[in-house]
Amino acid sequence: MAETTTNSTDPQQIAKRYIEQIPAPSSLFTTCIRAIKNAEMALHGGDLMVLKDLTISSTAFILSVSPTLKAVFYRAAENIHPKELKELNPLSTKALIGLFQPNEVTAILTITYLYRHLKKVSNSEDYAKLIKKLLTHAEIGAIVGRTIRNIGTGNGMLLGGLRYFSLALIMLADAKKFQDYYRKAERNDKLFDLVAERQIFGCTHLDIAGHLARIFGFGLITTSGFMLAHAKEAPSNFSEQMEEELLCWRVAFSLTEAFHEKGSAPEVDESSELYLPPEESASLKKQCWEVIRDGCSYTWLTAAKNDLPEEIRRALEITIKGSQKLGIEDLEEGEDGVA
């Protein structure tokens, strides 16, 4: 990795090399995510039931070969849709997936896959600290995302997840440099310092996150949402609709960062794209502050099949031994249930 930053000055090429430290995602995941995202685009504002059915059928196949993912989705439902889960009768894998919006499904699949793979190569105290920050940023992102058109809970979670996994990839390449950078940012009360990242590492974590999104099957808008999170304008070849969607991503990034870093919305005038009416700002501030004060409520990322009660395992057809095939065996826990 050090050789890369010496021989190449193109931030996008450097970002790709950071990603090469971990295996490419299973085609089982990328095909599923790409199918859901393509259907979202094709059915934009159209028949949502078709999209829901496609999401359920595509995801159910992955869960059928991964008991761990069934456990992850069950715990995610407890965290994100507790009322609907409680009322779900009978419980089945397809009914469980049906509780989620399509962008929640794609976010959970992506974040879980990256967490399990990075844990195998970066299972350190510093990685654990990043994951704690990741979960907080993902939950705050979800809270903010629900209030923004074209973002929603799922994209808000993805926003938080990919940012911190990208930082983990930088840490994996050069732990000492990363620790120096990260501690300095914390001393300055910053979550991120993009200028310092570009100078020290040759690219920013947002460059890496954009490429991760592309590799996992997310489209141009999501990929650009990361790479252009702080750009003032959209690329000249973007349509009016694409510009509007990119603006939603920029607002989501800025507000999530502000609520996590400062505990409140940015102080801007009413003409700003980041302006929130006082009542909405106060509501978001309260919800985000509860996450920061009390700790993240998301437990799904570290879920293991052994953790579920016997009756839930039976309903979801989870066996302790589990199936390990189709290139997703790295998601499964060892016999002791530790992922």
Give the residue extent of every domain in the chain.
14-331
**pLDDT of the residue at 330:** 54
The reported pLDDT for the residue numbered 114 is 94
Cβ density class 231-262: b for 16+ within 10 Å, e for less: eeebeeebeeeeeebbbbbbbbbbbbbbbbee
Query: What is each CA distance from 281 to 32, 74, 141, 263, 264, in whole angstroms?
Result: 36, 31, 14, 11, 8
Predicted pLDDT of residue 328: 54
Full-model pTM: 0.91
- CATH number attached to the domain at 14-331: 1.10.3210.10
Q: List the chain pLDDT tens, one digit each, 339 residues.
A: 544 444 678 999 999 999 999 989 999 999 999 999 998 888 766 667 889 999 999 999 999 888 999 999 999 999 999 999 999 999 999 999 999 999 999 999 999 999 988 988 886 888 989 999 999 999 999 999 999 988 999 999 999 999 999 999 999 999 999 999 999 999 999 999 999 999 999 999 999 999 999 999 999 999 999 999 888 778 888 898 889 999 999 999 999 999 999 999 988 888 888 899 999 999 999 999 999 999 888 889 999 888 899 999 999 988 755 444 445 555 655 433 333
Coil vs helix vs strand at 149: coil
Name the burial class of residue 128, with classes exposed (0-12), middle (13-18) and buried (19+) by CB atoms within 10 angstroms of its CB. Answer: exposed
Question: 11, 204 in Cβ contact below 8 A?
Answer: yes
What is the Cα–Cα distance from 98 to 41, expressed in whole angstroms?
A: 19
Q: Please classify residue 195 by burial: count the beta carbons closer than 10 Å to its beta carbon, then call 0-12 exposed, 13-18 middle and 19+ buried.
A: exposed
